[in-house]
Amino acid sequence: MDGAVLSREFFDGPVEEVAPALLGHVISHRTPEGEVAARLTEVEAYAGPLDPASHAYRGPTPRNEVMFGPPGHVYVYFTYGMHFCMNLVCGPDGTSMAVLLRAGEIISGEDVARARRPRSTVRDLARGPARLCQALGVAREQNGLDVCAPGGAMTVLRGEPADPALIRNGPRTGVNGAKEIPWRFWIEGDPTVSPYRPHVPRQRRKITTEG
């Protein structure tokens, strides 16, 4: 790792091309606790207004506004009442494409990541989108950060790009709409890639058939 930050132009393109191109590069986040870096092994592309699975499908809202801004910024959202997930915004300002970072291998700051996820094995530290955010210390406060600024708290560093022969793609994990769009990308054989789970509708908690 030579410390070079990926340029904003890298993110300023079609999301289905940027997403696989990110595999092998490195997301790094510095906090007072220390710096943690993860080599990306699994991502998903979301295509804005054309994509029923995208948070931007129904247009801008307070939550998704950074998706509509310039590329190279982080979109963080809160889900299931307890987890954060992070995306990198792609495409020109005014469009709303983004790449969900789903999994990675911790390559530096492992002690800090382990302190944040004390019950996790090393392999599972960033194996899943919410785990990745936890290991990196990413939450609401990081929403909107620019990852293309050298010296910034959060950056995407140039790593060894994944061998194209090892990149696989398939349907996105846990999404309801547009199940046929095969925009999950991962590095075949890497142990830190998360297990695929199809979408399951939540059953209603309370059933009041009696009384």
In this complex, which beta carbon is closest to DNA, that of residue 21 or of residue 53? 53
Nearest to 17 by CA among 205, 150, 183, 211: 183
Residues 109-138 that bind DNA (CB under 7 A): 117, 119-120, 124, 128-132
In this complex, which beta carbon is closest to DNA, that of residue 7 or of residue 61? 61
Q: Is 66 helix (H, G, I), strand (E, B) or coil?
A: helix
Q: How far is the CB of 126 from DNA (least distance, A)?
A: 9
Single-letter code of the amino acid located at 152: G
Q: How far is the CB of 87 from DNA (least distance, A)?
A: 5
**For the window 149-188, what string marks contact with DNA as x by the rule CB under 7 A?**
-----------------------xxxxxx-----------
Single-letter code of the amino acid located at 72: G
Which residue stretches of 41-160 are H helix? 110-116, 129-136
Phi, psi (rounded to 5 degrees) for 166: -100, -5
Q: Which of 62, 94, 151, 189 binds DNA (CB under 7 A)?
A: 62
83 binds DNA (CB under 7 A): yes
Q: How far is the CB of 136 from DNA (least distance, A)?
A: 12
Q: How far is the CB of 35 from DNA (least distance, A)?
A: 21
Residue 16 gets the label, from left (phi > 0), alpha (psi -120 to 50) or beta, of alpha
Q: How many CB atoms lie within 10 A of CB 83?
A: 15
Report which secondary-structure segment, H or E, holds 75. Answer: strand 74-79
Write out the DSSP string of 2-19: --PBPPHHHHSS-HHHHH
Q: Which of 58, 92, 115, 144 binds DNA (CB under 7 A)?
A: 58
Compute the C-alpha angle 32/76/187, nearest 5°: 95
78 binds DNA (CB under 7 A): yes
31 binds DNA (CB under 7 A): no
* Interaction site with DNA (CB under 7 A): 44, 46, 53-56, 58, 61-64, 77-83, 85, 87, 98, 100, 117, 119-120, 124, 128-132, 172-177, 194-195, 197, 199-205
